[in-house]
Chains A and B, each alone.
Chain A
Amino acid sequence: MIPLLKRILKTGIVTEPVAEGDARREVDRLQDEVLKILGRALTIREVDAGSCNACELEIHALNNPYYNLEGCGIKFVASPRHADMLLVTGPVTKNMENALKIAYDCTPDPKLVVAVGDCGCGCGEVGALFGPNYATCGAVANVIPVDVRIPGCPPTPVALMQGILAAVRYDRAHPAVSPERS
């Protein structure tokens, strides 16, 4: 137990705003904004509808101590019934199409849908490579309504945080003034 506690003390809080370049400052700013806009926890259900799992690796990274997404009141939940937001990676395969639709239907209104990655957004060179074809429906928007897109192959954790924030600010009634990223 003593080595464990010593390691915790020695590591300190790596999320602290100590100078470590622009990336670190960007993360701090985002965390402040999330807290200001939401003032409460946002819950996300992540659905991999056919990605190559690189997007999932970066979504995992959101919860590492550097980005500390849960520390600013955003957490991933196990059921779409507990979620405010669906974070969906793609391309949506035919074999996942029905499951994704069910997950969407199970998410209580008002729900936000964020498409992640070039495949999920159906953009860029990589998005074009993976569908639509006999096996995939292509972009997430081809299967369920999407509010915000986070392109990238895969998008970095900072881009993911920015995209999630954009979705929180997103105003469906006035999409023209909303900061949609695509």
Chain B
Amino acid sequence: MQLFDEPIEFTRQPGIGAPVWQGRAVDGDELKDFAAAAHLAGGRLAALWGSDERLSGGGFRLHCVFGLNEGHACLTLELPANDPGYPDLSGLFPAANRMQRATYDMVGIGHDGTDQRPWLRHGGWPADWFPLRHDAGEGGDFSNLPSDYDFVQVGGEGAHEIPVGPIHAGIIEPGHFRFSVVGERVLRFESRLGYQHRGVERRLAGADFSTGAKILGRISGDATCAYAWAYAAAIEAACGVEPSPRALALRAILLERERVANHLGDLGMLGNDAALAFGLSQFFRLKEEWVRVSALLFGHRFMMDRIVPGGVEADLNAAAVKVLSDQCDAIGPAVKELHAIYDEHAGLQDRYLTTGPIDAALARELSLSGMAARATGLLLDGRCYRLDYAPPPPWAALGVRPVTDERGDVAARVAVRFGEITESLRLIRQLATQLPAGAVCAEVKPVPGASGVGIIEGWRGEVLVGVSIGADSRLARVHPHDPSWQLWPALEHAVPRDIVPDFPLINKSFNLSYVGQDL
């Protein structure tokens, strides 16, 4: 099949997952033309990464995934081993900027754009050493040099900078924020990330499937179920395995429980950051009760390592189903009551309304996905029906109702979180009471040389995992992609024009993953 009358021929990835179209561009121009057509059609850049294919006789390979109405188009471009370069896509998709820079830091294949600042590489290894090249060696003995970073400077009378981080004031992940301000008003906000770069992609190369599942469950701890499922879906697509309907329903329960847990926690924090400690206490009480039931039924408070390639390592009996649905029945009214209190609290609404706004046009421009995109009015949810396709099982049968809000500010992101808790509770109840019978885990036999892409709508947004299997039946290359790649630049647009003290509130309303994009 062809998309947008471009010459590239796409074939659909087999399996039951979200529709993924695989294609190859013959050269950089063809890639750029396709990207332009995808941009024109309102598509998003979902992910971009590189791989070293020299062991299998090729050069390097660039992987670009575009989110389209037809599904996800995964386009690869072969690059010669001696001169690996490709055209800069950040003019079309600004989200490409950091992904391209990270791809250079990791694999050493470069784009021809103007922004050549390193992204994940600080001072820990030299600029001409690339960790994901198979001949890179261990690289553990480099000296760790301090590194500077060229923040974009703002000039003019009274303008000054406030540097924050990498260690922040609260209990939160590290990153550096640079505010350029006049008085209290933020003129420009730029972030520098990569502080949590743990070398996970390097560790994944050569790992077996179960080690891979352990690592993927820890790409971003708050989204462990989303990552584990996306990884499992990619492996299953590559190896031609279909998880049972029971396994899929259980995965969906785990994913929705993760969504509720995170929204409960963030709603509490959002109360606290606007000086309503009552909200923090109440929502953290509810969250604690929620994760205790997760521990009781699934053996882990955050349900780590329960989703594995082939299915799940968990099951529910009748008594467990009753615990699940009883908790939904109890927590639903409690959240509704708190929602009314938040809505009617003048001090809170004064802080929320019109603070940190982004609109739908910007959300589209920046390739956003997930809760923050829906809070601008974009109807983007991998669990819901799209114009041209039905969502993958088990979502299609559930009729997931997407929650949107058109205001795009902190208030909208709060409202979407409240709405999504209610919808997730409905889904959990429905999934648990109508669990299909059958086995919960199928055997997965590695298919050497195969590859696959898995895409899951996590609580923050679209989690995408690309997997390719080597000739030795182990993982050759795994790229986990966090929605925060696209969302961090959106935060940089949301913060200016508000005042510095609004930043914690705006930041928390997004609650982006640092480690998910630092890898």
A51 proximal to B (CB < 8 A): yes
- Also in contact, A54 and B221, with CB within 8 A (given A94-B124, A130-B198, A133-B138): yes
Give the distance in Å from the alpha carbon of A7 to the alpha carbon of B279 in the complex. Answer: 11
- Also in contact, A49 and B174, with CB within 8 A (given A63-B284, A134-B139, A135-B202): yes
- Shortest B155–chain A CB gap in Å is 28
Who on chain B is nearest to A136 by CB?
B198
Contact indicator per residue, chain B 213-243, by CB within 8 Å of chain A (1) or not (0):
0110011111010000000000000000000
A132 proximal to B (CB < 8 A): yes
Which of A65, A129, A132 is close to B281, meaning CB atoms less than 8 Å apart?
A65
A64 touches B195 (CB 8 A): no
B344 touches A134 (CB 8 A): no
Range for the number of chain B residues in contact with chain A: 35 or more
B173 proximal to A (CB < 8 A): yes
Give the distance in Å from the alpha carbon of A129 to the alpha carbon of B469 in the complex. Answer: 20
A41 proximal to B (CB < 8 A): no
Count of A interface residues, CB-CB < 8 Å? 51
Binds A, one of B164-172, B415-423, B434-442: B164-172
- B221 to chain A: which residues have CB within 8 Å? 51-57, 154
26 contacts between A and B (CB under 8 A): A14-B285, A52-B515, A53-B513, A54-B218, A57-B222, A60-B265, A61-B291, A63-B284, A65-B284, A66-B285, A76-B171, A91-B198, A94-B124, A95-B166, A99-B166, A129-B211, A130-B203, A132-B140, A133-B198, A134-B125, A134-B140, A134-B142, A135-B125, A135-B198, A135-B202, A153-B304
B278 touches A95 (CB 8 A): no
A133 touches B199 (CB 8 A): yes
- B122 to chain A: which residues have CB within 8 Å? 94-95
- Shortest A103–chain B CB gap in Å is 6
- A134 to chain B: which residues have CB within 8 Å? 124-125, 131, 138-140, 142, 199, 202
Q: Which residues of B contact A (CB under 8 A)?
A: 122-125, 131, 138-140, 142, 144, 146, 166-167, 169-174, 194-200, 202-203, 211, 214-215, 218-222, 224, 265, 278, 281-282, 284-285, 287-288, 291, 301-302, 304, 337-338, 340-341, 344-345, 513-515, 518
- Shortest A146–chain B CB gap in Å is 18
A156 touches B199 (CB 8 A): no
- A153 to chain B: which residues have CB within 8 Å? 218, 304
- A59 to chain B: which residues have CB within 8 Å? 171
A84 proximal to B (CB < 8 A): no
A52 touches B197 (CB 8 A): no
Sample of 16 further A-B pairs with CB below 8 A, known A96-B166, A134-B139: A11-B282, A14-B285, A46-B171, A50-B174, A54-B304, A56-B221, A58-B301, A66-B285, A93-B198, A93-B518, A126-B218, A133-B203, A134-B142, A135-B124, A135-B202, A154-B302
- Contacting B at CB under 8 A, from A58-107, are 58-61, 63-66, 76, 78-79, 91, 93-99, 103
- Also in contact, A99 and B265, with CB within 8 A (given A4-B341, A133-B140): no
Give the distance in Å from the alpha carbon of A59 to the alpha carbon of B172 in the complex. Answer: 10
- B131 to chain A: which residues have CB within 8 Å? 134-135
- Shortest A172–chain B CB gap in Å is 25
| Those 7 A-B pairs whose CB atoms lie nearest each other, nearest first | A54-B221, A94-B124, A135-B199, A64-B284, A134-B139, A78-B169, A52-B221
